[in-house]
Amino acid sequence: MSEKKVISGAEGVAIAVKLCKPKVLPMYPITPSTLVPEKLSEFVFNGEIDSKMIHVESEHSAISALYGAYATGVRSFTATASQGLALMHEILPIVSGSRFPAVMFVANRALSGPLSIWNDHSDSMSERDQGWIQLHCESNQEAFDTIIMAYRIAESKKVLLPVMVCADGFYLTHAYEPIQIEDQEKVDAFLPDYTPEHYLDTTNPKTFGAFAQPNSYMEFKEEEEKAMREAIREIIKVSKEFDKSFGRKYGNGLVEGINLEEAEYAVLGVGSVCGTIREVIKELNEQGKKIGLIKLKSIRPLPVEDLKILCKDLKILGVIDKHASIGFGGALTNDIRSALMGEKVKVEGFVAGLGGRDINKEKIKELINTIMKNKEGYWLK
């Protein structure tokens, strides 16, 4: 039976993964994603899940083994964070370029150096150009639900791109919240078996990972771009079906507007910080201030048309960026500004929360005061 359990975000992710029945689990430990492979190891070693675990010797090998498993045609999973994701970097575009619908969990953590084990988005934001769909989560329930949706989205024949499910390290992975654990039967009905068209098969030999010349490389990449655009429609569709099956949704699956109806100003956030922003705008709305929130769930594909619609009546949008593209401000701000080019809304960027620096209510109020005074964004420390 479906039940509500108070568990850590990481355990929630592991249970969601188990419900999706992956066949191969290449795993490597790193803070703060380690709790996920730990929990999955318990499932495997206690015979609760029919998956082969590979205890790889690095994250580079984790993603490589994941690639090998998908080349052989089975649904699989891995999890990582920070330096681990950076070590995987080389293989990320090979997985997406091979059109393998892999799902990976990223417990967002700052990149060294200096060394930091705490949360920001520098790890996943640095990988946003590698052909992976990137979905972020505000709560542990959302992380649980997004894992299940991710396989549906990735495996859609119209998409066939890998998905990175991101949740803030510690803030979510180590936080205990009630999570609605869904029934296996319901998940099975929502997520059919993975049946790939192409895989390594000795009865029908095919070559995977061939060498592309200048006359074909661009066409492969163009196909990925088309699939990523197709993913916008597919994410909305899967989100609606998930809502129908389980009664939960997160905006349209890509982005969510909160209290924007009369808003002149809004804050755009990604991940767990949205929870704090919700509290602040609630207070300010009660004081009569017209402030809204845009919670961006999908970094890639970036829902440009949705953003334009959500921002059409806004004067100024303040973007919270938990990653700096050193030398050109917040990378997310740059993306949002580019998406909204030609719209009347002005975009101000605030780099905040790097290396686990707390983004509390006071800081969000400070940001809102700044944009309401029509002042420029800055490093909100």
Nearer to another protein, 51 or 122 (CB): 51
- Report the candidate in 373, 316, 327, 314 with the shortest Cα–Cα distance to residue 349: 316
Alpha carbons 6 and 12: distance in angstroms, whole number: 9
Nearer to another protein by Cβ, of 51 and 239: the residue is 51
CA–CA gap between residue 302 and residue 294 (Å, rounded): 13
**Per residue in 202-228, is it b (16+ CB within 10 Å) or e — as a string?**
eeeeeeeeeeeeeeeeeeeeeebeebb
CB 25 within 8 A of CB 53: yes
Of 73 and 275, which CB lies nearer to another protein in the complex structure?
Answer: 73
Contact between 271 and 332 under an 8 Å Cβ cutoff? The reply is: no
Question: Can you give the binding site for another protein, defined by CB under 8 A?
Answer: 23-24, 26, 50-52, 54-58, 60-62, 64-74, 76, 90-91, 94, 200-202, 205-213, 216
The token pair at 294 is 């845009």
Q: Would you call 184 helix, strand, or coil by DSSP?
A: helix
What distances in angstroms separate CA 352 from CA 274, 304, 332, one per listed residue?
13, 23, 12
Return the closest-CA partner of residue 379 out of 357, 360, 351, 348: 351
Closest approach, Cβ 25 to another protein, in A, equals: 8
Q: 97 or 349: whose CB is closer to another protein?
A: 97
The nearer residue to another protein, 63 or 352, going by C-beta atoms, is 63
CB of 64 to another protein, least distance (A): 4
Q: How far is the CB of 75 from another protein (least distance, A)?
A: 9
The distance of closest approach from Cβ of residue 116 to another protein in the complex, given in angstroms and rounded to an integer, is 25
CB of 348 to another protein, least distance (A): 41
To the nearest whole angstrom, how small is the minimum distance from the Cβ of residue 73 to another protein? 7
Smallest distance, Å, CB 58 to another protein? Answer: 6
Measured in Å, how far apart are the chain's first and last C-alpha atoms? 46
Task: Report in angstroms how near the CB of residue 80 gets to another protein at its nearest.
Answer: 14
**Per the structure block, which two tokens stand in for 371?**
């944009």
The one-letter amino acid at 360: N
Task: Using the minimum distance from each CB to another protein, give the nearer residue, 56 or 86.
Answer: 56
Q: What region does 342 belong to: left with phi over 0, alpha with psi -120 to 50, or beta? A: left
**Would you say 208 or 378 has its CB closer to another protein?**
208
Q: How many angstroms separate the CA atoms of 245 and 241, rounded?
A: 6
Run of H or E including 368: helix 361-372
User: Residue 121, SS3?
Assistant: coil
Closest approach of another protein to the CB of residue 219, in Å:
10
Residue 187 CB coordination number (10 Å): 19
Residue 93, helix vs strand vs coil: helix
Nearer to another protein, 52 or 357 (CB): 52
Q: Which is nearer to another protein, 67 or 242 (CB)?
A: 67
The dihedrals phi and psi of 284, each to the nearest 5 degrees, come to: -70, -35
